[in-house]
Amino acid sequence: MSECPSAGLRRRLPHKSVAYAHVRRLFSRHPLPPGKLVNLHELEASDRCFLLHHAEQVGPIFKAIAWDEFWVCIQGIQRCRRFLKEHGEHVRAITLSVGSMFPKGFLRQMEGDAHRRYRQSLARAIRPADFTAIEGSLEAMARRELAAYAGSLGESAPTPTAYVATLNTVASAMLIQAFFGLAPGSELFDRILAGYRKLGPFGLVWNPGDRQREAFAEIRDLLLKHLVRNPGQAPAGARASILGRLADEGTVDDTMMGNLIYMVEMGRYDMYSLFRWLTKYVGDLPAMAARLAAEESGPTAAGGSFAERFVLETLRTDKSERLLRKMLRDVVFDGFLIPRHATVRLCLWEAHKDPGTFANPFRFDPDRFASDGPGPDEFAPFGLDHHVCPLGDMAIRASILFLRALTKNHRVVPTADGLPVLGPYHWEPASRFAVRLEPRAGAIAGA
């Protein structure tokens, strides 16, 4: 899911983490990780493979600077998992600052009993059968939105912003229905969707301000009034949603409600970003697109479909990038001092390019996930330790539905493209990437 350092913060003087690292190096019996203090963000923005090449020169653990702060990069999933096992209690997950909106913060930042309690409640509320029951509705909604986008173009050239807006609507609607049981077409759905558009009108807002606090309160109050405090008056299907089950269990406090609202907010950004990558590969690989279109539809939970493998390969190639942790104390890992205040980057994108695990790792090949695919020490698209995203399965299944809606009635024709770019939080297709959706020959209306 979305993780980012203090984006936009630039300082003339070295951050305290840099000064502290130098001081601790003088007094420690252990060296800092190798490598010069190169500007990680700038070098990576100019070369997506920079960390891979740098690790070949200095080793799988190395130091760097990013946003003027001291960073340590760790490569290799087994090595990253071992770091979290040995020092997980000495790190804090880096994520949005939401303390002004709800107590205890995000589930991914919690530890100990609080983390176990909220995670167990959420796990009980997430039921695969409930998602299966709404798959038809979700796919139909995605088809409608994509058809509306295709029909809106006429003779005009497609724009990147118009398609992103469509993907944002699809992702938002999927998550609002899965989390809150609200299907498009109702007044309450429209009000909740409007609240989310106010919460993040142009993408995920890293440092929430007055506008976000106001939008959050509007969404929270609507959900409490209509779905939690008056469950008997809730729309049909709401009680089978994640929020509905938590309400029945009596575990919806301010922290749980805040987490649910922001899981949708962060999830819709991550999901429409994934949909954009899926669209790019569908457009770039017409033979695979035809294979997706011809594949027989069935419950996404069944597994083994080419659509599922296509989603997993997209996660491997482009959407699983990194985990970020802030050090709370000095630790020694593999003989190197990792000082307090350092930001630790656990490198997933690089691990997913290991030729020892993935032959021809830069070739897009969904069938590498056929039969016995990579294990958890080789492929970790949704995290590593006890903070693995509990919604990973839902994200995969929603993406399969999106692929069906995209490919069965449409042929994706890229009209502008370019090299991937490093966006505010993730790597993205080229800023100018745009597509036209043309009717697919032989498509069945409503398929």
Written as one string, the DSSP assignment of 258-308 is HHHHHHHHHHHHHHHHHHHHHHHHHHH-HHHHHHHHHSPP--GGG---HHH
Q: What is the pLDDT of residue 100?
A: 85
Asked whether residue 314 is domain-assigned, the answer is: no
What's the number of domains the chain is made of?
2
Q: Do 152 and 122 fall within a single domain? A: yes
Q: Do 113 and 94 fall within a single domain? A: no
Q: Which of 379, 409, 425 is the last residue of a domain?
A: 379
Q: 163 lies in which domain range? A: 106-307+384-447
Q: What is the pTM of this model?
A: 0.93
DSSP state, 201? B
Single-letter amino acid code for the residue at 286: P
| 234 phi and psi angles, rounded to 5 deg | -70, 150
Q: Do 14 and 144 fall within a single domain? A: no
Single out the residue of 108, 258, 233, 119 nearest to residue 181, CA to CA: 233
Q: Do 43 and 117 fall within a single domain? A: no
Q: What is the pLDDT of residue 443?
A: 60
Series of mean pLDDT values for 10-residue runs along the chain (447 residues):
40 74 92 96 95 97 96 97 95 87 86 89 92 95 97 89 96 96 93 96 87 96 92 81 93 95 94 97 98 94 92 96 95 97 97 95 96 87 82 94 97 96 92 96 56
Burial class (CB in 10 A: 0-12, 13-18, 19+), 370: exposed
Q: What is the pLDDT of residue 258?
A: 96
Contacts of 260 (CB under 8 A, 6+ apart): 179, 180, 242, 243, 246
- The secondary structure element, H or E, covering residue 81 is helix 77-87
CATH number of the domain encompassing residue 263: 1.10.630.10
Q: Do 203 and 133 fall within a single domain? A: yes
Q: Do 301 and 436 fall within a single domain? A: yes
Contacts of 274 (CB under 8 A, 6+ apart): 311, 314, 315, 319, 395, 399
CATH number of the domain encompassing residue 19: 3.30.43.20
